[in-house]
A and B are shown apart, each in its own frame.
Chain A
Amino acid sequence: MADRSEGRRGKPVAWHGGPVMQALIWPVAALALLVIFNVLFTPGYLSISVVEGRLSGYLIDIFRDGSSVMLLAVGMTLVIATGGVDLSVGAIMAIAAVLSASMVTPEWNEANLGGWANAMLADRTIAWIGVVIAASLVASVLAGVWNGALVSIFKIQPIIATLVLMVAGRGVAQLVSNGRIFTYDLPALEFLGKGTILGVPFSVIIVALVAFLAIGLTRLTALGLMIEAVGDNDTASRSSGVPVRAIRFMVYMVSGLCAGIAGLIESSNVSSANANQIGLYAELDAIFAVVVGGTALTGGRFFLVGSIVGALLIQTLTNTMYAQEVRPEIALIPKALVIVAVCLLQSPEFRRKAWGVVRPGVRVGGKA
C-alpha cells in the first residue's frame, strides 16, 4: 500500500493523480473496454429510445438490472471500510422479499396477522403497501443489528459472524412464508422494480437517492472519517473518542437496510418471492463491486463512487453475456477471469512484480 499512502501525503506518483482517480482508473478502463466491445459486436448498443413513455436500450438495462448490486455495494462499501464484510446480504434480500410478498397475500395475512390486515389491504392498498415496505425494511435493519451485535459486542470476525445469517437467513425467510412462493398482482408494490418516473426506472432513482445520501453523509460530515478511522486502527480510534462500537453497529444496519431495499426491488421485478432464488450469490457480486472500485478489504478507506462503477462493471459484464447469447452458466467463466484480472491489476504486490520484471528500475509506488 506504499503508493497510496504517498499519494495521501501529497506526493502523488507522477501519472497517478489523486487517490480517488487512482482507485477509479482500472474499473473505468475495464468498463470502457467492455462498452467498446459491445459497441463493436452488439448492434444498436448505444441507442436509447423511448418506448411507451419509458427509456429503453442496452445502457438503460444495465442501470435497471444493476440497481440491486449498486444498492448492496453502497452498504457493503461502508462495512468493508471498517475492516469488515457482510456475507449475509443475499439472505437479507430474501427475508425482505419474502416478508413483503407474504404480507400482500390474503391467506398469509389471515393466518398470521388477522382480518384487519386484509381489510386494510383491500380498502387502503397504498397505505398498507407503505406498512409492508416499512415492515420489510425494519426486518432487514434488525438483521443488520444482529450482525452488528456479533461483530461489535461479541467481537466475532465479520466473515464468520455474517456467515451465521448467510446460512440461517434463507431458512428464516422460508419460515416466514412457510416454504411457499407467493406471487402477487399489485401495481403499487410492483412500481418499485417496474415503475418509471419521467421514463427513468424508479429503481434507478432509488439507487441515486441512496448513493447521494450515503456520499453526502459520509463526505460532508465527519462520519466518513470516523468509519475510515475504525477500519484503520480500532484502538487508536477508541482512544481518540470515536464511538467505535456505534459506528460498527451502524454500518451493518445500513448494509442490512440496503439489502432490504434491493430485495424489495428484486421481488417486485418478478412480482413474487422465492426464498431460494432472491439474492443468490448477490453478496459475491457486491463484494466484487466494492473491491474493484478501489476500497481495500483491509479497511481504512472507501470510495463509494468506485463501488458504483464496480457494480456497473459487473452488471455490464453480465448483460454483455446475455447480449452475446452466452448461457448464464457459462457466463460465470469470463466473470471469474475478469474478477481475477482486476484484482491482480489492483494488487500492489502484482504491480510491483509485473512492472519490476518488465521495466526494472521503474517501480510503481516507490519502495515496497
Chain B
Amino acid sequence: MSGKDLLRRVTPGREHIPIIATLAVLVLMFSFGAIRHADRNFASLYNIISLFRGGAVIGIAAIGSTFVILSKGIDLSVGAVIALASTMTAKLVAEEIAPGVAGPGLHPALVLPLVVFLGLAFGAAQGALIHWFALPPFLVTLAGMFLARGLAFAVHPQSVTADHPMIGRLQDIAIPLGDRFDLPLIVLVLLASFAIAVLAARFVPVCRDVYAVGGDEASARLMGVNIARVKIGVYALGGVMGALAGVVATIDTGAGSPAEYVGYELDAIAAVVIGGTLLTGGTGFVFGTLLGMLILGLIRLIIDNEGTLSSWWTNISAGVLLFLFIALQSLLTGVAGKRGK
C-alpha cells in the first residue's frame, strides 16, 4: 500500500461526518459529566464499565438493527424477540420453575444455540415475507413484535429464574481489569459481537452487498447482487442478534421475563441513528452504533448524577438528540443530493 493510499484511507470523507459528530458528542457529554460531577468521581472506571454493561443488551441487538437499517429496512420486533429468547432460555434450563415444580433442566450448551437458531428462523421468516411478498418492513416486523411478545407469554406467564448450575458458572466468567473491577461476560459478548460485525461489514462480500441494496436496490440487482440473500439475511441477523441479546441478558440477570425489554427496538434504532447511520439506507458504520449506545447510556448516567432531574428527562433528551442527528443527516444528504444533480 503506497503512502498516498494510506493517507486516503485514514482521511475522513463526507460519509464520516455523522460518525465524527457522534464521537464529538460522546466526548463532549463525557467531559461535561466528568467536570460537573468530578466530586462524585464521574469519570471512574466503574462508571465506564457500567455504561457498557447497562447498554449491552441494546447494543448487541442494535448490531442487527444497523444492518437492517443499512439495507433501508426497519425491525420493530427486536424488543419482543429479546423477551422471547430470555424467557425461553430461562425456562428450558431451569431445573425448578416454581417451588416444587420441576423444569426441563436442559444443559445451557444445548439451549443457547437452540434459542439463537430460533431467533434466526424468526428473523428469516420476517425477511422472507418482506422480500418475496413485497410487504412493508415495519408492518411485518410490527406483527413479528406482537407474535414474539405473545409467544413469550405463552412460554411462561411471569418472570422465571434460570435455575441451573451452569448459568451461575457462566456468570462468573469475567476478565479482571486491575484488582477492583472486571469485565463481565455480557460486556465481552458485546465487544466481541461489535468486533466481528465491524470487520464483517468491511470485508465480507455479503455484508458489503447490504450497503449496495440499501443505497439503490434496482442498481444492486443490475450489478448482480443477490437481493433475496441480502434482504432475508439482514432480518435473519436481526433475529439472531435479538436472540443473542436475550440469552446473555438471561445469563447476566439469572432470569428471563416475558414482560421486560419493552421499547428496546426504539432504543436500538435510536442508537443506530445517533451512531450516524442514515435511515435512508446505504450509509453508516457499525462502530457508530456502539457510540450511539454509549451516548444513550451517558444521557441516563448524567441525569442520574444530576439528582434533581426526573427520569423522564431521559426520554426527552434522547428525543432531542435523535432530532439533532436526523436534522444533521437530512442537511448532509440534502447537500449531497444537490451536488449530485
Contacts and interface: CB of A to CB of B under 8 A. Distances in A.
A168 B326 CA distance: 14
B143 A330 contact: no
A156 B330 contact: yes
Given A160-B326, A174-B310, A332-B149, A344 B320 contact: no
Contacts of B269: 163
B313 interface: yes
Contacts of B279: 157, 159-160
A343 B150 CA distance: 19
A103 interface: no
Q: Is the interface of A mostly helix, strand, loop or mixed?
A: helix
Contacts of B322: 163-164, 167-168
A155 interface: yes
Contacts, number: 129
Interface string A171-190: 11011001100000000000
Interface string A43-79: 0000000000000000000000000000000000000
11 contacts: A157-B280, A163-B269, A164-B326, A170-B315, A174-B312, A178-B310, A275-B312, A333-B146, A333-B147, A336-B146, A343-B143
A333 to B, nearest CB: 4
Interface string B312-326: 111110111011001
Q: Contact size class for A? A: 35 or more
A350 interface: yes
Given A159-B138, A337-B147, A344-B135, 8 more contacts: A167-B319, A170-B315, A172-B316, A174-B310, A284-B142, A288-B142, A332-B153, A339-B146
Q: Is the interface of B mostly helix, strand, loop or mixed?
A: helix
A325 interface: no
A330 B312 contact: no
Given A335-B146, A340-B143, A349 B132 contact: yes
A174 B314 CA distance: 11
Contacts of A297: 136, 139
A156 B322 CA distance: 12
B149 A164 contact: no
Contacts of B142: 284, 287-288, 339
Interface string A275-316: 100000000100110010000010000000000000000000
B25 interface: no
